Amino acid sequence: MTRNIFKNDQLQKQFDEKGFVKLSMLEKEEVENLRNYYIDQEFDNKIEAGFHISLDNQNEDLVKEVGSKIKDVLAPKTTALLKDCQIFTASYVIKEPGLQNIVPPHQDWTFVDENEFCSATVWTALVDVSEQNGALGVIPGSHKIFNHKRSSPSPQSKSPLADHIFTLFPFVEVIEMKAGESLIFDNRLIHASPPNLSDQARIAVGIGITQSEAKLKHFYQNPSSGKLEEYDVDQSFYTWFNNKRLSDLFDAEKSPEGLNKVGEIDRVVPSLTKEEMEAKVQELEGVEYNRPFMERLAKLFNYSMDGEKQETAEEIVEPSADDEWKDERTFFQKYSLGNIVREVSWRVKGRP
C-alpha cells in the first residue's frame, strides 16, 4: 500500500478512488505572471499547430531556468496542500491551435517505486480550458488497471495502450478548468486531450511530485536485449534526458551514460485484446461511453458515426504522405489517425 500524499483525508480518498482531484491553486496575479513569462521565452522546440513542452527544449540552461520559475510559484502551494513532498519536474505544457494536436490516451513514465510511494502531476491551467481548446481529459479510476513499469523511450518501448487508442478515447472525460485551477493526477492514470479548436494557444504548467523520501527512478528499454535498465536518478535527469534524446539513443542502439544503473529486469507488459481492454475500462465506477464527444469529433473530422466518409467539396484532413495502404477502417480508427501519428512523431522525434 502506497503512502498518502494529501494532508486532507477527503482529497486523499478521492485521489485514491478516481486517480485525480481538481482544485483552485493560483491567484490571478500568479497566473498572469507565469503566462507572461512563457510568452517572453524563445523555445526551439515549439511546433506550429502542435503539442509541445518546455522540458523538450534543447537548451538545457533554459529548461532549468524555466523549471525554477515554475517551482518558485507552485512550491508554496503544494507545501500547503500536500504532505512533505519533492518537485522533480517542472514544465510548460502547450497546445497550439489546429487539428493536428490530439494527444492520444497514455500513461506517464514510472518515476518511483509505486509499491511504496506515489508520483503525480500537478497540471495547472494558465488560461480557461474546455473541450474547445484541448483541455486535459482522463479516464477516472484507470490508475488501477495496470501496475507494470512504464519505460522509455516512446514509441519504441511500446505501451499496452498503443494498440487501443481508438478503444479508449470514447471513455475519456474532458475536465473543464478555469485559469489557476489544477488537476492533480496519479501518473498511472490514463489521460488524453482533444484538438485545440480555438485561435489561441492552450497554456498550462505541469510539475511532477512525490514524497520527499522517495528515490527517483527511471526505466529504459535496452534496445538489444529488450530488458528494462533500472536507474536511480535525481531531478537533473529530467532536464537533459527528455524522450527525444532517449529515443535517439535507442535508435543508435545505445543506453544512457553517466547514470547510477541499479540493474536490469525483465520487461513485463500486459497484452490485452480490444474486448479485454474495453471490459477493464467499463468495470470502472462512473466511466461511461462519451457518445456526444465522439459525435463532435466525427463531425469535425468529416466522418459519420458508422464510419462512412461524408461527401464534401473540400476535405478537412489531408491524407498523410506516409499512408501507402488503403484505409478501410471505421471512424473510431480513422478520425484522428494521421493527426495522432504526426503528433507522436513531433513530440518524440522532433518535427520532420
For residue 181, give the amino acid letter: E
Cell numbers at residue 241, please? Answer: 534526458
- In the block, residue with C-alpha cell 535507442: 250
Confidence (pLDDT) at 50: 80
Q: Residue 153: is the preceding peptide bond cis (ω within 30°)?
A: yes
How many alpha carbons fall within 13 Å on the CB side of residue 202? 32
pLDDT at 49: 59
- The 10s digit of each residue's pLDDT in 82-129 is 998 999 999 999 999 987 788 889 999 999 999 999 999 999 999 999
Helices (H), 40-175: 60-81, 165-168
**Helix, coil or strand: residue 7:** coil
Low-confidence ranges of the chain (pLDDT < 70): 48-49, 301, 303-352
Within its chain, how far is the Cα of 82 from the centroid? 22
pLDDT, residue 3, reads 87
Closest CA to 229 of 218, 237, 240, 244: 218
Instruction: Give strand pairing partners of 91.
Output: 206
Q: What local confidence, expressed as pLDDT, does residue 303 receive?
A: 63
pLDDT of residue 42: 80
Instruction: Characterize the bridge pairing of strands 119-125 and 181-186.
Output: antiparallel
Record the cell numbers describing residue 43, joined without a space: 523555445
Name residue 156's amino acid.
Q
Burial of 294 (0-12, 13-18, 19+ CB in 10 A): middle
pLDDT at 305: 54
pLDDT at position 90? 96
What are the DSSP E strand ranges found in 188-237? 191-193, 202-211, 217-221, 228-232
C-alpha cell at 352: 520532420
pLDDT at residue 352 in the model: 30
Q: In this structure, are residues 226 and 89 in contact, taking their beta carbons and an 8 Å threshold? A: no
pLDDT score recorded for residue 10: 96
How far, in Å, CA of 29 to CA of 15, rounded? 28
* Omega before residue 155 within 30° of 0, cis: yes
Query: Residue 123: which H helix or E strand, with range?
Result: strand 119-125
> Which DSSP state fits 212?
T
Domains of the chain: 9-265 (2.60.120.620), 289-349 (no CATH)
